[in-house]
Amino acid sequence: MSQTITIDPVTRLEGHGKITIQLNREGEVEDAHFHVTQVRGFERFSEGRPFYEMPSLMARICGICPVSHLIASAKACEAIMSVRIPHTAAQLRRMLNLAQMVQSHALSFFYLSSPDLLLGMESDPAARNLFGVAAAKPELGRAGVGLRRFGQTIIESLGSKRIHPGWVVPGGVTEPLSAEKRDAILALLPEAYANIKLALGWYKQIAEKFRQEIEVFANFPSLFLGLINEDESIEFTDGALRLIDAEGAIVADGITASEFTQVIGEAVEPYSYTKFAYYKPLGYPQGSYRVGPLARLNIAKSMGTPLADAELAEFKQLAAGPVQSSFYFHHARLVDMLYGIEKIEQILSDPLILDKHVRATAGVNRPEGAGQAEAPRGTLMHHYKVDENGKITWANLVIATGQNNHAMNQGVLQAAKHFVKNGKFTEGILNRVEAVVRTFDPCLSCSSHAVGQMPLVLSLLSADGKVLDRVVRS
Amino acid sequence: MNVSRISCLILACGNPLRGDDGLGPWLAEWAAARFRADSLVRVRASQQWTPELAEEIAGAETVIFIDSSLETAPGAVRLSPVAPAAGDSALSTHHLGAPELLGLGCELYGYLPRTALLLTVGIESAELREEFSDAVKAALADACSLLEHAVERLLTVAELRASGHRV
């Protein structure tokens, strides 16, 4: 008799998800799926709204990465308006996006994943949380809190609110930066550098203890997609997309937001509300790819900031070509954060950063527009169509979690096959299967545009579909 | 932490779009206006209490948490001490209770405010709407009065301690 394991809900993620592991009659893992079990439908209810409302409406999709939605949405609106935003507005948006990346990555690394990394995958689940981290290594917990505060304070300073700031609008931003705010942000930098240095140093000491996880946590060849500048340095807010293959060769380059939907398709699977993005010329699933911190570092030739460049060089020593194991999302996330802090410092030294001209205005000049940006979890694309009055007639959002969906499912299967033997498993094994998903830091609220936290259900199913075991985490 | 601590931190929780659940932010707004002139009082309202607040708590001599309660009778106003608690496996990084926030502050910063109180008001409904129920409306005056007296008492104690008195 075959079996199915269900992990429901998956914990320490953003949103609601479930994992099922199907065993065959011999008790070996036959198949595994990561299910996203929530749905909202932001695209649909935005129909009929004026296009200029879209950034603030779309930001409500997520409380963790609203800035990414603000920016991608505003850029889509600017394509409809046919305007180019002022330099200072672009720089301020870039800073806001990086601040969000730092606070979001800090949540993922320190709050959600460091309990596994510090206390161990098999440690007591009752203590495998932020309290456990605080008790065992309080300086690590304080670094996480400090980096969260760093990002949130900048977001609050620029956008007046920590969550759902309304400062980014079609055409730019609503208010320029004051010298007082600039100086206040500059004063935050020394502590932020100290915190990320502590985290990187600690991570590099412990990473090799997880050799088994490195080998089987979504460790396979794949395509990688991410934004890049013309000089091949990493980019989060502007630039164009590059797609590379598992050997690092360029598959497609210079993909603009308007070209995104021509080359990226979205498949559906019966077990998930989240779509599965793929590169159309290769079809589905062959054209599936990964986005996010790992993809960004695999694609970028440089970071464009000295400390992060040194870290990138070290990161690239992990493999001859692109780094394939998704366990290294953790490492890449820390390098992203270091880059974000350095880049914010660079932006604040821009002689035009206090310029008062931060918004361009225009009406509807095109019936359609698309915008793209790097969210913490990967590439985000918003695409809208409007009528002659500027009311939305159609909208589509392609979210990072959907673009990583196929890889997450493959990763869950790979880890389950490695760890679950003869139908036997422990809580620690199930935690490892969850941890595969956690490395990607998926945001299920974004991917299904759904509400809430992300508990997870894990089910173990027999060959005839009978639930043999079920772990529910809330 | 090498900080000069504020005397009283007021942390309110709730969502003004969820009916009676908005009483936390409402009381926070009232307290911010009432103690506007007092730099020793800091008021912060949020929809959820997240771990970062442990750092703010570590910078306060005393803390008053304000929250709605579905477990007490609608309109019942209570002020009680809070003790620190440890988190468990169900701990959410999106929302902690007052005891867990105190516990996290202890672990991370080795500090517990001298006094920690929780002010709750029993609510009738947290459904989507922007108005309070009659029971909560009727309780607002009592809640303001209790909060005002608690803050004044904490400030008086802080003042006496600062001037060298044993309290």
Interface with A, mutate which of B93, B104, B112 (most A CBs under 10 A): B93
Q: Judge whether A272 and A15 are in contact, CB under 8 Å.
A: no
Supply the pLDDT for residue A49. 94
Query: Is A60 an 8 Å CB contact of chain B?
Result: no
In a domain, A22, yes or no: no
pLDDT digits (tens, 9 = 90+) for B65-104: 999 999 899 999 999 999 998 766 555 666 789 999 999 9
In a domain, A328, yes or no: yes
pTM, rounded to two decimals: 0.90
pLDDT digits (tens, 9 = 90+) for A238-248: 999 999 999 99
* For residues A402-428, average pLDDT: 88
Cα A125 to chain centroid distance, Å, stands at 25
| Domain CATH code at residue A158 | 1.10.645.10
Interface contact flag, B92 A473, Cβ < 8 Å: no
- Of the two residues A17 and B125, the one the predictor is more confident about is B125
In a domain, A43, yes or no: yes
Supply the pLDDT for residue B162. 83
Query: Is B157 an 8 Å CB contact of chain A?
Result: no
pLDDT digits (tens, 9 = 90+) for A40-95: 678 888 899 999 999 998 888 877 788 999 999 999 999 999 999 999 999 999 99
Count CA atoms within 13 Å of residue A416 on its CB side.
Answer: 32
In a domain, A447, yes or no: no
Supply the pLDDT for residue A454. 45
Q: Which domain holds residue A257?
A: 39-407
Q: Kindly give, in sequence order, each residue whose CB lies less than 8 Å from that of residue A335, ignoring residues fewer than 6 positions away.
A: A200, A293, A297, A303, A308, A311, A312, A315
Interface contact flag, B107 A134, Cβ < 8 Å: yes
Query: Is B93 an 8 Å CB contact of chain A?
Result: yes
Q: What is the DSSP string of B17-85?
A: TBGGGGHHHHHHHHHHHHTTT-TTEEEEEESS--TTHHHHHTTEEEEEEEEEESSS-TT-EEEEE----
Query: Is B88 an 8 Å CB contact of chain A?
Result: yes
Interface contact flag, A141 B91, Cβ < 8 Å: no
Indicate the average pLDDT of chain A: 90
Which candidate, A440, A474, A469, A435, places its Cα nearest to that of A21?
A469
Distance from CA of A448 to the nearest CA of B (A): 19
In a domain, A445, yes or no: no
Share of chain A above pLDDT 70, in %: 92
Share of chain A above pLDDT 90, in %: 70
What sign for the dihedral angle of Cα A311, A312, A318, A324?
A: positive
Supply the pLDDT for residue A453. 43
Supply the pLDDT for residue A65. 81
- A449 pLDDT higher than 70: no
Q: How many residues does chain B have?
A: 167
CA distance B26 to B32: 10
In a domain, A15, yes or no: no
In a domain, A436, yes or no: no
Ranges of chain B with pLDDT below 70: 1-4, 87-94
3-state secondary structure of B94: coil
In a domain, A442, yes or no: no
Which candidate, A76, A353, A407, A401, places its Cα nearest to that of A219?
A407
Supply the pLDDT for residue A14. 57
User: Which residues of chain A does B109 touch, with a Cβ-Cβ cutoff of 8 Å?
Assistant: 138, 142
CA distance B60 to B11: 11
pLDDT digits (tens, 9 = 90+) for A126-174: 888 899 999 999 999 999 999 999 999 999 999 877 777 779 999 999 9
Beta strand segments in A118-197, E: 168-169, 172-173
Q: Two tokens at B87? A: 């988190």
Phi-psi region of A449 (alpha: psi -120 to 50; beta: other; left: phi over 0): left
Among candidates B52, B90, B100 on the partner chain, residue whose Cβ is nearest the Cβ of A148: B52
Query: Is A128 an 8 Å CB contact of chain B?
Result: yes
The structural domain count of chain A equals 1
Cα A31 to chain centroid distance, Å, stands at 26
